[in-house]
């Protein structure tokens, strides 16, 4: 009897100390890899996430920028990391929804990642040069139909960028023929050309477009969103302006490598979803015209697939290829 009791006590003691290492997650700093240079919306949102989840997780959260190949360099670094929850990535529209459709990449956005949380979206606005003789989207479409190939749109980020595909989508849905003018240098140069009258129209995310709209340097015809934007209450949605279904947005979420343990993934996702709900983070996202989301796990994965399907249709219908 004494031997049996001793065995039970020994088993009980061993069970107390046989706690899997991942049950203590996290016990060291966490890293979020950003596939873009510091300063833009991608970097800003990653740093907001890092700031707001560090406290609840009890560990420092560090942002590391690894720019290159429209986010592919950073995405590959995340996909190749150990699935332990200590290396995460800021996933965005280009790296997950667009690039894989146009380029042969060393990662699969569906199979090589654990989709944790959709943090925020930033809708696009259709903006035109103020000297163009149109005041709304219906007038612009009529004006463009009467001048096939004579009007142009700027695609910040160059060929195959989200802005380029937005212009292609506008051509397809409105049955017009705008000529694409790519700007590899980015949105600021394209907006300068728009204001100078060398471009006629652009689809640009509100983070970049809002200051120019508010100052009256460009005219907003519509926002490519489901509902009006608080910062531009007088600007209609594309549907209200006569082009239902024209939805274009940048999106930003957090992923980890494939195979994250379920409890680790759930703890990370909850910390991020809770952060997005805080008034402080929502206010900070509003400064870059971002809409808080907070979708997590399966919901985020489904969202990415929906975005990829949308862009795949634009690419197919427009016969778009990377040259």
pLDDT number for residue 320: 87
Collapse the DSSP code of 84 into the 3-class scheme (helix H, G, I; strand E, B; otherwise coil) and give the result: coil
pLDDT for position 21: 44
- In the prediction, which pLDDT does 49 show? 97
Is residue 296 within 8 Å of residue 269, measured between CB atoms? yes
Strand 249-257, strand 87-92: pairing: antiparallel
Element (H, E) at 64: strand 61-65
Q: Enumerate residues 6+ apart whose C-beta is below 8 A from 264.
A: 22, 25, 84, 85
Helix axes 41-57, 262-277, angle to 10 degrees: 110
DSSP, residue by residue, 146-208? TSTTTSEEEEET-TTSHHHHHHHHHHHHHT--PEEEEETT-HHHHHHHHHTTS--EEEEEHHH
Quote the pLDDT of residue 102.
Answer: 87
> Percentage of the chain surpassing pLDDT 70?
90
Helix (H, G, I), strand (E, B) or coil at 225: coil
Cα radius of gyration rounded to whole Å, the chain? 23
Residues of the chain with pLDDT under 50: 1-22
Q: Give the global pTM.
A: 0.86
Cβ atoms 62, 50 nearer than 8 A: yes
**Which residues have C-beta within 8 Å of that of residue 105, sequence separation ≥ 6?**
72, 75, 76, 99
- Domains of the chain in start order, with CATH, are 26-121+249-318 (3.40.190.150), 123-223 (3.40.190.10)
- The residue written with tokens 């209450």 in the block is 233
Report the alpha-carbon distance of residue 95 to residue 93 in Å, rounded.
Answer: 6
């Amino acid at each position: 009897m004494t031997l049996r009791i001793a065995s039970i006590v020994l088993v009980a003691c061993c069970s107390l100390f046989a706690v899997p290492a991942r049950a203590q997650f996290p016990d060291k700093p966490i890293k979020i890899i950003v596939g873009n240079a510091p300063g833009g919306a991608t970097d800003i949102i990653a740093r907001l996430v890092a700031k707001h989840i560090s406290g609840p997780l009890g560990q420092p959260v560090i942002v590391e920028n690894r720019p290159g190949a429209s986010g592919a360099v950073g995405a590959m670094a995340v996909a190749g990391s150990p699935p332990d929850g200590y290396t995460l990535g800021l996933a965005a529209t280009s790296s997950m929804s667009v690039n894989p459709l146009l380029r042969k990449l060393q990662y699969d956005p569906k199979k090589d990642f654990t989709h944790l949380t959709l943090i925020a979206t930033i809708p696009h606005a259709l903006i035109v040069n103020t000297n163009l003789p149109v005041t709304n989207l219906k007038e612009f479409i009529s004006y463009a139909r009467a001048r096939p190939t004579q009007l142009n749109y700027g695609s910040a980020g160059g060929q195959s960028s989200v802005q380029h595909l937005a212009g292609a989508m506008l051509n397809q849905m409105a049955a017009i023929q705008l000529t694409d003018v790519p700007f590899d240098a980015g949105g600021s140069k394209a907006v300068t050309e728009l204001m100078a009258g060398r471009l006629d129209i652009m689809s640009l995310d509100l983070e970049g477009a809002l200051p120019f709209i508010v100052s009256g340097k460009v005219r907003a015809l519509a926002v490519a969103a489901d509902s009006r934007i608080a910062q531009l209450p007088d600007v209609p949605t594309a549907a209200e302006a006569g082009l239902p279904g024209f939805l274009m947005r940048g999106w930003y979420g957090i992923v980890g490598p494939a195979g994250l343990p379920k409890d680790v993934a759930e703890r990370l996702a909850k910390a991020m979803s809770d952060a997005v709900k805080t008034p402080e983070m929502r206010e900070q996202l509003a400064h870059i015209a971002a809409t808080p989301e907070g979708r997590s796990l399966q919901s985020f994965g489904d969202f990415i697939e929906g975005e990829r399907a949308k862009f795949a249709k634009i690419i197919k219908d427009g016969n778009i290829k990377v040259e």
